[in-house]
Structure formats: C-alpha cells, structure tokens
Amino acid sequence: MSSEHSAQPLTQLSDDESAFRDAVAEFARGEVLPRVAEMERNAKLDPTLIPKYFELGLMGIQVPEQYGGAGGNLMMVTIAVEEISKIDAAAAIMVDVQNTLVLYPLLTYATEAQKAKYLPQLTSSVVGAYALSEADSGSDAFALSTRAELRDGTWYLTGRKLWITNGAEAGIFIVFATTDPSKGYKGITAFIVERGFDGFRVGKKEDKLGIRASSTCELILDNVPVPATNVLGPVGQGYKVAIETLNEGRIGIGAQMIGNAQGALDVTVAYVKERKQFGRALREFQGIQFQLAQVATELEAARLMVYNATRLKDAGQDVAVVGAMAKLFASQVCERVTSLAVELFGGAGYTKDYPVEKFYRDAKIGAIYEGTSNMQLQTIAKALLK
C-alpha cells in the first residue's frame, strides 16, 4: 500500500471534522498500513490492532460520553471508515459494523439497563456483530428459520446465521429470530446475545475473494437461553430494528467504497507519474489523463452522495432512499475506479506485488452486503413510483 497522503476531498468539512479526518488518516498510515500485507496473507485482522481502535475512540463514535463513547455523530463514522478504507477496507469494516450495525440499534432501541450494561463494554474492549442473514435469508431478509421460544420467562434461540461480519472477534451479537412464524415478518424479534451464553458458538469462517482480513462467520445457536431482559426493542418489532439499522449501515458501506476507490486512485496517480512507455511518462498521454479525470469526477460525485446521506441522517431525516442511492452509486464507482487502476498498472497490476489487485477484489463486496445493488434499485424504484 502507498504511504502517500491521499488527495483531500473537495467536499467541505468543518474544522473539527477535518482535524478528525487527519487524525484517523495518520492512524491508518501509521498503524494499519504496516499490517496490511500480513493480514491479507493470514486472512485475519491483526489482534493487536483492535485495542488501538478502542484507544482512539473509533469503536464508540456516536455513543454518549457517559457510556464511554466519543459523543460524536455519523459524519465522524463516515470519515473514519473512509480514511481507513483508503489503506485497507477489511480493517475499516470492523469500525463500520461496530458503529452502524451494533451501536446504532442499541442507542436507538435499548432500555436504560441494557445501555448501562453493554455500551461501556462495546466502547472499551468488546467487538460487536449483527446477525440477520441465513442460508435462505439474504436479500429476502426476513425469511428467517432461526426460532426463539419463550419458556418460563427465558427465550431459547435455535438456528444458524451465515456471513456474519466480525463473527470471529465479537463478544456481543445482535441476533434476529422469529418468535411467531404465523405472523411473518411481524413475528421477528431482536435479541442481545453474549458469546458466552450456553449453546452459542461460532462456526465456519468463510474464505473470501476480498476484505479477507475481516472475519465472516457462521453462528450456531443450539437452544441458547437468552434472558427476557435481553430483548432489543419490542417483541415482534425486530424487522423495524433491522431495517432502520441497515439504512444507516448502507451509508457506512458507501464510505467504505469511496475510501477504497480513493486508495486505488491515489496509488494509480503516483504510478502513472513514474511509469514510462515510448519514452514518456504515462501521465503525459491524454488518453490516460482523461480516464483518470473521469473516474476522479465520478468518485467525487459518489463522495457527495455519501456525505449528503450522512448529513441528512445526522439531521434526523429518513435516509432509506438517499442511503440506497449512495451505497449503489459508491459501489458502482468503486468497481470502475479499481478496475481502471488494475488496467493502468498493466501486467504489474494483476500481481500481488502491487496494491491495486487488492483494491479491486475489495471493491466487489460493496454490491453485495447490507443489501445487494438490485435491492437498492428496488428501494429507489419503489419510492420513485409510489
């Protein structure tokens, strides 16, 4: 990975946001960059990196200070995820999931007792995960087979969850299960499940194309007893918890994609300044200049969409559609930018000796998780044609 400071976005940030961005960028270059190659080879996040996330306050950005958080907003989350993704999207997704998929639903739906118990853990030392997907429940998010049965005041969860980000490292999980199958999606409930609960275990870790250092795991729930006090939100309202959480989570994926694309563009710009063909640097060929100008323009447009969705969410607005648009477009742009980066590196770009092949592989997941591109298009079309 390049250690060059990436081009600064044209998008306006406040002084505090700019200072935060610079601090995270410095952290990413100093702490994440030296670990990238080994993490990629091992397909595992360096465990010594995780405490550093907590020390910098990146694992509880929107959590109020009374619970050990930074008392920040979603814009700070977006900036953090973008900056780390410029170096390694796999390292960034842990921060993203912690803030948008785990802490957001707790801040929004948890009781005061739940907040007092779990938020200090999640802001200081414990990684969290969000467990919705199953083998037959991907885009059809609420076709859940995981069941929750209430017996003598305790819920018992049985089922399997797949593709759970942070699964290998997490100690606290937001798990969705069906409490009443006859009610369809209105029978789904969210639960706070601790790793140490009886009958709960982490299964297979997936061997992935991209974001390889980020763990993606199967969860197995075998009659797991969960106290009634660990129900998150009202019983039967889990679908609402899931949807609202994913609306924020998609902004985080958008931030990951623009960061990954910027990282690829940065190293490519540096390369074409140095690489010579026909006695001239690649930067002198108009064809190269125009291709770079085009993707730089698209990337700035994607950044504007992600930042706009972030600002609207921070202002309390509904971001279902603008968040879908931002994730959709950012993932599309990221694929185009990283593909061009590989091409401009030529044969070297197709090897692991240079960073662009990793940026390219890390781009593809943006069109898949937290809602495929087709699902984003469906959300947008439904609003458009309502």
Which positions are catalytic? 370
Identify the residue whose tokens are 């984003």.
Answer: 376
Contact 270/2 with Cβ under 8 angstroms? Answer: yes
Residue (of 255, 229, 249, 53) closest to 133 by Cα position: 249
- Say if residues 88 and 39 touch (Cβ distance below 8 Å): yes
- Would you call 180 helix, strand, or coil by DSSP? coil
What's the Cα-to-Cα distance from 293 to each of 86, 262, 270, 336, 339, rounded to whole Å? 19, 13, 14, 13, 15
User: By the 8 A CB rule, do 267 and 86 touch?
Assistant: no
Q: Comparing C-alpha atoms, which of 339, 266, 260 is closest to residue 302?
A: 260
Count CB neighbours of 184 within 10 A: 12
Helix (H, G, I), strand (E, B) or coil at 377: helix
Question: What are the CB-based long-range contacts (under 8 Å, 24+) for 124-127?
Answer: 124/54, 124/60, 124/68, 125/51, 125/54, 126/170, 126/171, 126/172, 127/50, 127/59, 127/94, 127/98, 127/166, 127/169, 127/170, 127/171, 127/172
Distance CA 35, CA 83 (A): 16
Rounded CA-CA distance 338/79 in Å is: 20
- Nearest residue to 296 (alpha-carbon basis) of 340, 254, 327: 340
C-alpha to C-alpha distance for 272 and 281, rounded to whole angstroms: 7
Widest CA span in the chain: 80
